[in-house]
Amino acid sequence: MTLDHIGIAVRDLDAALGHYESVLGITSSSHQRVEHQGVEVAFIELGDSKVEFLAPLGDESPVAKFLDKRGEGMHHTAFLVEDLPAEIARFKEQGYQFLSEEPSVGAGGKQVIFMHPKEHHGVLLELCAKV
């Protein structure tokens, strides 16, 4: 398991990217709409990991609800795993809860599933695997 990315929820994707690109002196590598998750995302590559910026596509997006409740900031931490079904089974055996029953396709075509933040000191954890 390795750190894949840190997700940051923002209201205005272009404004956030402009700020971070200016501060860090690098440019974002990709933009993508993930319709079924209700977000537009962009990544800034930082060595072997990335920072993912997420902006809601509408008011009903889970990210829109997150922004209304908590404001802009860290949304999740994502870990890349070799065998996603095995990791899901391992965490379920330990009693951890997931926000969905099955993984879905996330940004970059990765299979993703989220673990409930209440069990991880308020941090939403994402497990992801390349397809």
Region 2-129: CATH code:
3.10.180.10
Q: Whole-prediction pTM value? A: 0.89
When mean pLDDT is compared across 10-14, 24-28, 32-36, the lowest value belongs to 24-28
pLDDT number for residue 90: 96
Interval 36-64 mean pLDDT: 93
Interval 62-88 mean pLDDT: 96
Handedness of CA 39, 107, 88, 126 (dihedral sign): negative
Closest-CA residue to 35 (of 58, 10, 66): 58
DSSP conformational letter for 59: T
